[in-house]
A and B are shown apart, each in its own frame.
Chain A
Amino acid sequence: MFKLIKQLTSLVAVIAVLFAFTTESMAAKKSKTLKNTQKKGFVRCGVSQGLPGFSNADAAGNWTGVDVDVCRAVAAAVLGDANKVKFTPLSAKERFTALTSGEIDILSRNTTWTLSRDADIGLTFVGVNFYDGQGFMVRKSSGITSTSQFKDGTSACTNIGTTTELNMRDFFNSKGISYEPVAFEKADEVVAAYDAGRCDTYTTDKSGLAAQRTKLSNPDDHIVLPETISKEPLGPVVRQGDSVWEDIVRWSLNVMIEAEEYGVNSANADAMKTSENPAIKRLVGAEGELGAAFGLDNEWSLRIIKQVGNYGESYKRNIADTGILPDRGPNELWTKGGILYVPPAR
């Protein structure tokens, strides 16, 4: 009798343990990154060393920008608090190594999505949060108004370790112009050298040019030429091999864009729970079980919208209101003439 009770208790214990394991979601068990993030209590995010509008720290060390908001969205979804992010400023050269070596879990640092980066070096791009293209900045006094006026011997300042160096070569070669590339390791030095007159032109992504122009000693003396010489879809990157984490980051970004499409923003998100539209109800977690697939609760997307805002809010706050690029251009919703189009959250 006593033996039987003992056996029964151990059976109960075993069942209890098994149950405890199954309640910890399958997804969390599959995703090492998600588990580690929840254990640490913060999202480890790699950002730039200072690019206004994208990722930039103020004097108090608070990071803002559209790239920063992607990490905040993931933190809101996974940890429930958009401020639980540890930002690591990285140079263009360090960024991929920092990600593949496990020093950070998301790289959200105005990084161009290309085939070789996606396929070759252990990275996975999860989406596009800014459609950009490479352009040129010149001095107004030079009288140059188009890239067709460049002549042999033009010196061009830029950063190393970016697609910029490759596009620049393709551009000048296709035009048959000889040029002098002056490539620095850090953006601040590029700005200083161009400002001093070392180079005739400064080339990088147009958003970058607009942002760096504000750092010049006399921004009004410089213009960004109208031509765009390359496609630069910028987006967040994760390590290859953790598909659950990849999905969380991808859909955190997608939710922000979809929220704008349905007119859900940080102010009206709670009220939208009673919306007639099932798509909106799913978006704010009032219908369906969307979070379960990632091992998250059902309010993950609601928290993103409430704490970070939708994509339009993020763009306005970081890029438009700061005067960097008031015109959204291609970064407008597909319904409004832009190319922002994300798969439906359902």
Chain B
Amino acid sequence: MNFKLNKIIPQLVTLLVVVLIFGFFAFNAQINMDNRGIEFGFGFLTQESSFDVQFSLIDYDGSHSYARAYLVGLLNTLLVAFIGIIISTILGVIVGIARLSPNYLIERTAAVYVEFFRNVPLLLQIFFWYFAALRALPLPQDSEPILGFSYLTIKGLYTPSFVWENLNIFFYSIIAAIISIVVIKNYAKKLQENQGKQLPVFSISIGLLIILPLLTFLTGGVSLDFEIPVLKQLSTTGFIYEGGLSIPPELIALTLALSLYTATFIAECVRAGIQGISKGQKEAAASIGLTPNQILKLVIMPQALRIIIPPTTNQYLNLTKNSSLAAAIAYPDLVLVFAGTALMQTGRAIEIVSITMLTYLSISLSISLLMNWYNKKIAIKEK
């Protein structure tokens, strides 16, 4: 009994202190806000925002509510984080493996890249890509087409957009292809276990992914058209491209800076993971006749991944949080739109900053949960 109490009391005291500290801050804020005639509340979220946003994934203009402006900012943040994570992972893995290359030139190039980009502050890199690289881009009227009908200009990247007919049938065909790949993979595994035969699963999968959607074009009534950007004159020297898809230069600069910066850290995680596997593993695998590709895929990577995943999760979280530097170059992310303009127009500092903090916390925790689940899945199950 006494023993139990000894254990509980310190915890209760800690809890009390934490509650008191937060209570004090809340109480203090309440009193100060009362003194200055500021009311706390979230009613403003339903008010008309009356400001426009440059770039939005959902339908939005100033006649929508602040809540919708929040959603616009959140989606823009998620977009940058999503693209950034994909590019930085691909680049990071390539550079990480390149750093272990026996080829001196490749190894040195990768090393110089890593050392340069991870040691220059991220905000500077964002400014570099936005202001230095932006100034070098041509005006819309001077730009040369890239790959046919795309234009990279100082006002953004303009590419043809897709105009689909019967897009749903096309989607079904992709889903069907994925299901059949899973079925074939299971069959191939059984085949190998029972008869020792190997199926070229990779080639079959690629083939299925190409052939099934292609069939829908020929027989399913699916058709794809392109809307091509056309140069439009605004004034004597002012031009812009209309039609097609336009990607603002702010998004390009931000994604580029975040990906190149984060990829250096991921490259180091990958290198650490691969170097963490003892040389004997590779030699043993080679001695039983596995090809170099098989060694990497079946022996090295499964073991390296459990070293790579946890620190890489950190990098994903960093990238997501660093995306808030967007405000410096006018990319309308959550911080610029919601904790910037909306905060200013409403003056609701406490409410908006709390919402923004909770949002970033939720995004980070979701990424963590997902990566932890994956980490558990690939962990070596010792029996």
A116, A139, A186: the one within 8 Å of B328 (CB): A186
B54, B135, B250: the one within 8 Å of A196 (CB): B135
**By the criterion CB–CB under 8 Å, are A185 and B235 in contact?**
no
A93 to B341, CA, bound (A): 8
Residues of chain B within 8 A of A186, CB atoms compared: 328
- The answer to whether the Cβ of A241 comes within 8 Å of any Cβ in the partner chain is yes
Residues of chain B within 8 A of A27, CB atoms compared: none
**By the criterion CB–CB under 8 Å, are A169 and B52 in contact?**
yes
Residues of chain B within 8 A of A173, CB atoms compared: 62
Q: How many of chain B's residues touch chain A, expressed as a range?
A: 35 or more
Q: Write the nearest CB–CB distance from B307 to chain A, whole angstroms.
A: 39
Residues of chain B within 8 A of A161, CB atoms compared: 340-341, 343-345
Q: Write the nearest CB–CB distance from B6 to chain A, whole angstroms.
A: 43
B330, B336, B343, B346: the one within 8 Å of A193 (CB): B330
- The answer to whether the Cβ of A270 comes within 8 Å of any Cβ in the partner chain is no
**By the criterion CB–CB under 8 Å, are A182 and B344 in contact?**
no
**By the criterion CB–CB under 8 Å, are B36 and A93 in contact?**
no
Known: A182-B54, A240-B37, A241-B37. Is A196-B155 also a contact (CB below 8 A)? no
Residues of chain B within 8 A of A151, CB atoms compared: 232, 234-235
A181 to B242, CA, bound (A): 16
**By the criterion CB–CB under 8 Å, are A149 and B131 in contact?**
no
Chain B proximity mask over A145-176: 1 for CB below 8 Å, otherwise 0: 00001110111010011100110110001000
A239 to B37, CA, bound (A): 10
**By the criterion CB–CB under 8 Å, are B232 and A185 in contact?**
no
* Residue of A with least CB distance to B349: A97
**By the criterion CB–CB under 8 Å, are A143 and B329 in contact?**
no
B38, B155, B232, B329: the one within 8 Å of A122 (CB): B38
**By the criterion CB–CB under 8 Å, are B249 and A93 in contact?**
no
Majority secondary structure, A binding face:
mixed
A239 to B330, CA, bound (A): 30
Residues of chain A within 8 A of B134, CB atoms compared: 193, 196, 198
* Residue of B with least CB distance to A92: B344
A111 to B63, CA, bound (A): 25
- The answer to whether the Cβ of A117 comes within 8 Å of any Cβ in the partner chain is yes
A149 to B233, CA, bound (A): 12
Residue among B50, B234, B345 facing the most chain A CB atoms (10 A cut-off): B234
Known: A92-B344, A196-B154, A198-B134. Is A182-B235 also a contact (CB below 8 A)? no
A290 to B340, CA, bound (A): 43
By a beta-carbon cutoff of 8 Å, the part of chain B in contact with chain A is: 32-33, 35-38, 50-54, 62, 131, 134-135, 139, 154-155, 232, 234-238, 240, 242, 248-250, 327-330, 332, 336, 340-341, 343-347, 349
For the A-B complex with A96-B347, A182-B330, A198-B134 known, give 16 more contacts whose Cβ atoms are closer than 8 Å. Answer: A93-B344, A100-B38, A101-B32, A139-B237, A142-B238, A149-B235, A151-B235, A161-B344, A165-B52, A173-B62, A183-B332, A183-B341, A185-B336, A189-B328, A192-B131, A200-B235
